[in-house]
């Protein structure tokens, strides 16, 4: 599902406050379960049963409070290109600002749905009422307060009206793979390598989302959808190479897929942008195959690939249980292996362990290596384990003191699960609940 809502506006109008409010509850759940740090500029939200990704475009384009018209323009252009709905935030206390007029001018011409949110209505306006913002020519205005939450419900009611319903329904049966990565790592070349074996392309079917274009691959015993990515689109935009753009594309593709094929460039190593995308995959609980491409360009001896693998896994720890494949997309070396692996990871992600098998195996391990004394002299006892029927592997451990389970014991249990059943390439979650 890829519904994207972008928040735009000049600095200090309250974009990030609104953003934080919208993503709060979901984000808290993610943090609790995996301990990952929160990301500043994008996150999930849901309202009235529709889920969507919220992006604070301002957070990306400008680094300081000094904003130039050009920066605002970039921010708004990105939002227009990528979002389904745009929330244009203005400051109701400050009144109409000249930069608001500039933004309105661009937004009035675009075809996307724009909602004008007048923030800070919790304090009396210096310039009269929110009504003056009608002058921006964007239709209805939505007064709200990002700080207190007043009016945000009405704004969201309106936002979700313009989001497509379920964008993935049509393909729900087929595995969905996405090729993601930074610009120039070889995504297009990889996709060409997949599809180049001409007869394999069954058909290009138009997706149910307005601009998605998924390709079905059906050959060699495989049948899956290749989710639209940067590589499948023509490259024309001037901002093709900025990080924001590739992150935005990655978010969309990752959200729509079951398994992400993350490509990195062997000549560049594994850098922080690669890491950001990997964390995004992990946080979204998608399967992952990591591909080190342009391997033909690397001078190597018998140890090189192992050293490379170790370097990557060290950096991505504690998530280390995923396949790494070394390819040359232009020479079509091991490119088919990438697809086979993606298929395998897809199956792993679907894996369900029966209650009986889970308890027989895990309780024995727990009994032979019980957790340390918990707190206040009480022992932690795990009584029963079950796997949820969720789309990604989630296990519930019923116990007497769920809050006292230590991180290292959680990790121990996860490693045991991974050593017994095959969850290679798949983020799994362990939850502890009181029976
Ligand atoms: P951004 O630069 O657009 O992301 O703006 P911020 O979210 O950082 O907010 C700028 C300032 O406005 C901060 O000091 C916020 O506390 C304040 N602010 C944001 N929303 C509200 C609101 O609803 N009411 C009031 N009174 N202040 C707000
Ligand atoms: P994208 O931006 O990730 O889609 O990357 P492209 O597929 O457009 O590739 C970027 C550049 O790297 C192009 O010049 C490709 O020819 C080159 N390239 C891609 N894969 C390989 C590879 O496996 N080996 C080598 N030597 N070059 C590659």
Does residue 373 surpass a pLDDT of 90?
no
Does residue 18 surpass a pLDDT of 90?
yes
For residue 195, the CA-to-ligand 2 centroid distance in Å is 15
Does residue 255 surpass a pLDDT of 50?
yes
Q: What is the mean pLDDT of residues 242-256?
A: 70
> 426 or 283: which carries more pLDDT confidence?
426
The chain-wide mean pLDDT, for the chain, equals 82
- What pLDDT shows up at residue 239? 47
Does residue 175 surpass a pLDDT of 80?
yes
For residue 181, the CA-to-ligand 2 centroid distance in Å is 12
Q: Which ligand is nearest to the CA of 183?
A: 2
Does residue 204 surpass a pLDDT of 60?
no
> 272 or 114: which carries more pLDDT confidence?
114
Does residue 342 surpass a pLDDT of 90?
yes
Question: For the segment 89-101, what is each residue's pLDDT rounded down to a tens digit?
Answer: 999 999 999 889 9
> 54 or 28: which carries more pLDDT confidence?
54
Q: Which residues, other chains included, contact 137 with Cβ-Cβ below 8 Å and sequence gap of 6+?
A: 104, 108
Does residue 40 surpass a pLDDT of 60?
no
Residues at CB less than 6 angstroms from ligand 2:
181, 183-189, 231, 293-294, 296-297, 328-330
Does residue 244 surpass a pLDDT of 70?
no
- Comparing CA positions, the residue from 131, 167, 119 lying closest to residue 8 is 119
Does residue 28 surpass a pLDDT of 70?
no
> 23 or 354: which carries more pLDDT confidence?
354
Q: Which ligand is nearest to the CA of 296?
A: 2
Q: How confident is the model at residue 35 (pLDDT cuts 50, 70, 90)?
A: very low
Q: What is the mean pLDDT of residues 315-339?
A: 95
Q: Which residue do the tokens 């901002």 mark? A: 239
Q: Which ligand is nearest to the CA of 99?
A: 1
- What pLDDT shows up at residue 390? 86
Q: Which residues, other chains included, contact 418 with Cβ-Cβ below 8 Å and sequence gap of 6+?
A: 321, 424, 428
Q: Which of 176-185, 201-210, 368-377 has the highest mean pLDDT?
A: 176-185
Residue nearest to atom 14 of ligand 2 (CA): 184
Instruction: Report the C-alpha gap between 148 and 18 in whole angstroms.
Output: 10
Does residue 20 surpass a pLDDT of 50?
yes
At what angle are helices 15-34 and 152-161 packed, to 10 degrees? 80
Residues at CB less than 6 angstroms from ligand 1:
9, 11-17, 58, 119-120, 122-123, 145-147
- What pLDDT shows up at residue 194? 83
Question: For the segment 376-423, what is each residue's pLDDT rounded down to a tens digit?
Answer: 777 888 999 999 988 899 999 999 888 888 889 999 999 999 999 999
- What pLDDT shows up at residue 196? 66
Q: How confident is the model at residue 54 (pLDDT cuts 50, 70, 90)?
A: confident
For residue 323, the CA-to-ligand 2 centroid distance in Å is 21
Instruction: Report the C-alpha gap between 394 and 406 in whole angstroms.
Output: 18
Residue 336 burial (10 A CB sphere; 0-12, 13-18, 19+): middle
Q: How confident is the model at residue 207 (pLDDT cuts 50, 70, 90)?
A: very low
pTM here is 0.65
- What pLDDT shows up at residue 374? 64
From 160-174, 190-204, 407-421, the region with the lowest mean pLDDT? 190-204
For residue 116, the CA-to-ligand 1 centroid distance in Å is 16
- Comparing CA positions, the residue from 328, 340, 318, 200 lying closest to residue 261 is 340
Position in ligand 1 atom list of the atom nearest CA 18: 7
Q: Which residues, other chains included, contact 122 with Cβ-Cβ below 8 Å and sequence gap of 6+?
A: 145, 147, 148, 150
> 411 or 240: which carries more pLDDT confidence?
411
Instruction: Report the C-alpha gap between 196 and 179 in whole angstroms.
Output: 15
For residue 216, the CA-to-ligand 1 centroid distance in Å is 46
Q: How confident is the model at residue 188 (pLDDT cuts 50, 70, 90)?
A: confident
């Amino acid at each position: 599902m890829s519904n994207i809502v972008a928040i735009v506006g000049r600095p200090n109008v309250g974009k990030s406050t609104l953003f934080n409010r919208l993503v709060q509850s979901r984000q808290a759940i993610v943090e609790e379960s995996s301990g990952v740090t929160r990301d500043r500029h994008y996150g999930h939200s849901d309202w009235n049963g529709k889920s969507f990704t919220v992006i604070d475009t301002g957070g990306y384009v400008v680094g300081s409070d000094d904003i130039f018209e050009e920066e605002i323009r970039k921010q708004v252009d990105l939002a227009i290109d990528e979002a389904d709905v745009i929330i244009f935030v203005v400051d109701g206390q400050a009144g109409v600002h000249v930069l608001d007029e500039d933004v309105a001018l661009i937004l009035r011409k675009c075809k996307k749905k724009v909602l004008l949110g007048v923030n800070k209505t919790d304090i009396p306006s210096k310039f009269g009422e929110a009504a003056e913002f009608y002058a921006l020519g964007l239709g209805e205005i939505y007064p709200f307060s990002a700080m207190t939450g007043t009016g945000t419900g009405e704004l969201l009611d309106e936002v979700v009206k313009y989001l497509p319903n379920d964008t993935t329904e049509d393909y729900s049966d087929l595995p969905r793979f996405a090729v993601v990565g930074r610009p120039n790592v070889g995504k297009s070349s990889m996709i060409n390598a997949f599809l180049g074996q001409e007869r394999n392309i069954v058909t290009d079917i138009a997706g149910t989302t307005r601009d998605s274009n998924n390709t079905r691959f059906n050959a060699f015993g495989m049948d899956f959808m290749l989710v639209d990515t940067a590589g499948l689109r023509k490259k024309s935009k001037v901002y093709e190479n900025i990080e924001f753009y590739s992150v935005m594309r990655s978010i969309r593709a990752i959200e729509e897929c079951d398994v992400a094929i993350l490509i990195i460039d062997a000549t560049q190593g594994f850098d922080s942008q690669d890491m950001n995308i990997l964390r995004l995959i992990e946080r979204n609980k998608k399967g992952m195959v990591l591909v080190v491409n342009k391997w033909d360009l690397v001078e190597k001896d018998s140890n090189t690939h192992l050293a490379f693998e170790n370097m990557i896994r060290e950096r991505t720890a504690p998530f280390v249980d995923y396949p790494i494949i070394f390819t040359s997309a232009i020479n079509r070396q091991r490119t088919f292996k990438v697809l086979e692996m993606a298929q395998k990871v897809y199956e792993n992600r679907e894996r369900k362990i029966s209650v009986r098998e889970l308890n027989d195996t895990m309780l024995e391990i727990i009994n032979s290596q019980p957790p340390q004394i918990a707190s206040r002299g009480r022992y932690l006892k795990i009584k029963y384990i079950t796997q949820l029927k969720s789309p990604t592997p989630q296990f519930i451990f019923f116990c007497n003191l769920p809050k006292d389970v230590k991180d290292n014991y959680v990790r121990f249990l996860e490693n045991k699960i991974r050593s017994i059943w095959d969850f290679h390439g798949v983020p799994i979650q362990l939850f502890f609940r009181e029976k």
